[in-house]
Structure 1
Amino acid sequence: MSGKIIFFEDRNFQGRSYECISDCSEIASHLSRCNSCRVESGKFMVYDQPNYTGQQYLLTRGEYPEYQNTIGFNDCIKSCRIIPVHQGPFKMRIYERANFEGQMHELTDDCDSIQDNYHMPDMQSCNVIEGYWLMFELPNFEGRMFYLRPGEYRNLQEFSRDDDMKFNSTRRITES
């Protein structure tokens, strides 16, 4: 893993800063607030709550002088997780219902509409076998996003405070 992100207390890279090269569950332990950042290398998932919870957004190399308008967070970034570089195939199994029940499909590539491509009315669980993925609430990789690492996700509703949340598209996190 190689990545570097610098958080700043104020907008436009002003105020005190904190440099991060790994996961950080509580940015408030380093800065009183965080209102801008710069990704110098790698990719980071940032969260609007501590401990990798709440709304999340993928940041790639670049500058985010006033990300409230760019990524839609109402408040500041509270935690971040580095996205490891994955070399090799991608593989995920998606299921219609919780606990890996109902219709199952195996994905090895991005899917812009789970409902259209697999005729699944809903997707409530998945097993990420290889690679790192983003799951989106809307088709065409839009709406709220959720970071998935290799592992079993028995109930995707646990990601959301909204009981009616549906997941409608998924994308691999690749180098490009």
Structure 2
Amino acid sequence: MATDHQIPASKQQQPGTSAFKLIIYEQENFQGRCHELTGPCNNLLEAGVEKVGSILVLCGPWVGYEQANCKGEQYVFEKGEYPRWDSWTNSRRSDTLVAFRPIKVDSQEHKIVLFENPSFAGKKIEIIDDDVPSFHAHGYQEKVSSVRVQSGTWVGYQYPGYRGFQYLFEKGEYKDNAEFGAQIPQIQSVRRIRDMQWHQRGAFHPVN
């Protein structure tokens, strides 16, 4: 759905609306034409969205992709405001968003195991119900080539401090780095994705 700039007058979720709602603005700072999503969109261009300048997430979380059909670099969006592209990424490789889909968060518990080598071999780091801004600080300095998510939904980052490329991990197994969308097997921080059902804040706010 595309409209002219009318929605910002009410940046509030109304009772009875969809469990997932995201509004895309074609210009920065929530200006210009806006487009509402309540479900997956594999190609924003085909849906009439010319450019993503800013994003308002009323109900989430969501994951956005650099390429159509949910391919390319990934960006995780939780409930909140994203006034320009550098508010949702600091990898600085691309400011393009072409596809979106909701992320289902169906567990209050979180457990993830990250392995040095493909097919769940080599050294490993196991994380239970915690966010880890630096693997090095926990004594793990190896690469991450495969991942097993036993519960919860997670996002991994290329560098410490939740920086660099983002990788979404939903419940299941990822036998090599290509399966979670990484060109190289490098993850150095990871955090849980939580929503209002399980966590009162329902959003992640990095500390500068």
Corresponding residue number in structure 2 for 1:19? 36
**Aligned pair partner of 1:48 in 50, 62, 66:** 66
Given the superposition, is the C-alpha separation of residues 69 and 112 from structure 1 closer, same or farther in structure 2, using an over 3 Å criterion? closer
Decide whether the 8 Å contact of 2:61 with 2:78 is kept in 1: yes
Given the superposition, is the C-alpha separation of residues 60 and 119 from structure 1 closer, same or farther in structure 2, using an over 3 Å criterion? closer
1:129 aligns with 2:150: yes
Corresponding residue number in structure 2 for 1:99? 119
**Aligned pair partner of 1:174 in 175, 194, 197:** 194
> RMSD of the alignment, in Å?
2.2
1:6 aligns to what SS in structure 2?
A: strand
Matches within 5 A, 1:1-176: 2-30=19-47, 31-65=49-83, 67-72=84-89, 74-108=94-128, 109-157=130-178, 159-161=181-183, 163=184, 165-175=185-195, 176=201
Given the superposition, is the C-alpha separation of residues 106 and 69 from structure 1 closer, same or farther in structure 2, using an over 3 Å criterion? closer
The letter of the residue matching 1:137 is: Q
Decide whether the 8 Å contact of 1:115 with 1:122 is kept in 2: no
* CA-to-aligned-CA distance 1:153-172 (integer Å, 9 cap, x gap): 111245234x3x51111111
Corresponding residue number in structure 1 for 2:9? none
* CA-to-aligned-CA distance 1:31-66 (integer Å, 9 cap, x gap): 23332222122221222222222222222223333x
- Unmatched runs of 5 consecutive residues or more in structure 2: 1-17, 196-200, 202-208
* CA-to-aligned-CA distance 1:96-133 (integer Å, 9 cap, x gap): 10111112333212222223314342221011111100
User: Distance in 2 between the 1:37 and 1:119 partners?
Assistant: 35
Instruction: Count how many residue pairs are aligned between Structure 1 and Structure 2.
Output: 173
User: Distance in 1 between the 2:106 and 2:162 partners?
Assistant: 20
Q: 1:134 deviation in Å?
A: 0.6
Decide whether the 8 Å contact of 2:107 with 2:151 is kept in 1: no
Q: 1:173 deviation in Å?
A: 0.8
Decide whether the 8 Å contact of 1:103 with 1:120 is kept in 2: no
Decide whether the 8 Å contact of 2:82 with 2:88 is kept in 1: no
Deviates more, 1:20-29 or 1:146-155: 20-29
The letter of the residue matching 1:117 is: H
The letter of the residue matching 1:18 is: H
Higher strand share: 1
Deviates more, 1:119-128 or 1:144-153: 119-128
- Unmatched runs of 5 consecutive residues or more in structure 1: none
